[in-house]
Amino acid sequence: MPSQKLSAIDEATRAMVVFTDLDGTLLDDSTYSFDAAREALDELRARSIPIVVVSSKTRAEIEPLRSRLRNEHPFIVENGGAVFVPSNYFPFQLMAATAHDQYHIVSLGTSYPRLRRALKEIEQELDVELRGYGDMPVEEVVTRAGLSRQEAELAKQRDYDEPFVVESERCTLDALTQAITARGLRWTKGDRFHHLMGIQDKGQAVQYLIECYRRLADHHRDRLITVGIGNSLNDLPMLKAVDRPVLVQQHDGSYEPDIELPGLIRAPGLGPIGWNRAMLSLLA
């Protein structure tokens, strides 16, 4: 590990926040367990360092997981589609937020019905099969994503991002990209699926929260250090937005080859194992 320890910074004037991807990063790629990261999670909790979940998962999927993590911090859903901030979390009013349930919600993404229409248009235009979550019965999501039936039902409750697979070999990524950008949309590659989405990305949503945490740190005259940790290309905008970007190993032991950043920490270990080691090392 390169020497990226934070101990050089005066403890008394330091505030830290950790932004983390879930699948294949904090959660094991196949079991979806975060057990291997427990030691670092406990240490972060002991130091009152917020962990912000930043995922392609939906609100319905993240909420139960957040309870299991005993996490009461903001979270980011569907690849940056929206930021959920618990009411009264920050001692100031949030820009562009709508109060709903127990949250202030900042919507950054394109609506799901528009994404679904675009996917089906592109399918016809390119004469290929693009199967989105909206086309898949629950059983198919269970098989393709390795989720339980109940989890798959929660994963289908989408608002801002459509995971899809390309079923035809003759579909080139260039043609796909062109058809998507022509509609003012974009796509990214996640762990198991491509994701069709609006112009939002994890980075914009993380940036929004960094501004909030910075304001809070300024108020306490702390210096804010931001950490981001991910495993796939859809994490790149998040990793670009933070001071300390961390990449964990993918299930085959490799690191996402298309992520290159100055100061990038390549954590030794798959998913939550790498997560645990990188965090403990940053906190040492």
Using the rule CB under 5 A, is 231 a contact of Mg ion? yes
Nearest distance in Å: CB 223, Mg ion: 29
Question: Interface with Mg ion includes 232 (CB under 5 A)?
Answer: yes
> What is the C-alpha separation between 160 and 82, in angstroms, rounded?
8
DSSP 55-114: -SS-HHHHHHHHHHTT--S-EEEGGGTEEEEETTSSSSPPTT-EEETTEEEEE-SPPHHH
Residues in region 125-164 near Mg ion by CB under 5 A: none
Q: Which is nearer to Mg ion, 26 or 209 (CB)?
A: 26
**Which of 60-68, 103-111, 226-234, 246-254 is the region at the interface with Mg ion (rule: CB under 5 A)?**
226-234
Smallest separation (angstroms) from Mg ion to the CB of 84:
19
- Rule CB under 5 A: say whether 55 interacts with Mg ion: no
- DSSP code, position 234: G
Cβ nearer to Mg ion, comparing 19 with 103: 19
Closest CA to 94 of 205, 18, 208: 208
Nearer to Mg ion, 23 or 162 (CB): 23
6 vs 147 by CB, closer to Mg ion: 147
Site string for Mg ion, 171-210 (x = CB under 5 A): --------------------x-------------------
Q: In the annotation, is 21 catalytic?
A: yes
Cβ closer to Mg ion: 113 or 268?
268
Residue 145 CB, nearest distance to Mg ion (Å)?
Answer: 12
State in Å, rounded, how far the first CA of the chain is from the last one: 12
Stretch that binds Mg ion, among 28-36, 126-134, 193-201, 223-231 (CB under 5 A): 223-231
8 A C-beta contact, residue 110 and residue 185: yes
Residue range at the interface with Mg ion (CB under 5 A); choices 40-48, 108-116, 225-233, 247-255? 225-233
Least distance in angstroms from the C-beta of 21 to Mg ion: 4
Give the footprint of Mg ion on residues 18-37 (CB under 5 A). Answer: 21, 23-24
User: How far apart (Å, rounded) are the C-alpha atoms in residues 20 and 71?
Assistant: 12
The backbone region for 114, taken as left when phi is positive above 0, alpha when psi lies in -120 to 50, beta otherwise, is alpha
Q: How far apart are CA 158 and CA 85, in angstroms?
A: 19
- Min dist CB 6 to Mg ion, Å, is 24
Q: Which of 21, 23, 28, 201 is catalytic?
A: 21
Residue in this structure with the two tokens 């319905």, named with its chain if needed: 60
Contact 272, 38 (CB under 8 A): no
For residue 272, the tally of other CB atoms under 10 A from its CB is 25
CA–CA distance, 75 with 52 (Å, rounded to integer) = 5
Residue 112: exposure state from Cβ atoms within 10 A (0-12, 13-18, ≥19)? buried
Number of residues engaging Mg ion in binding (CB under 5 A): 6
Nearest residue to Mg ion, by Cβ distance, number only? 24
Taking the least distance from each CB to Mg ion, the nearer of 21 and 161 is: 21
Binding interface with Mg ion (CB under 5 A):
21, 23-24, 191, 231-232
Active-site positions read 21
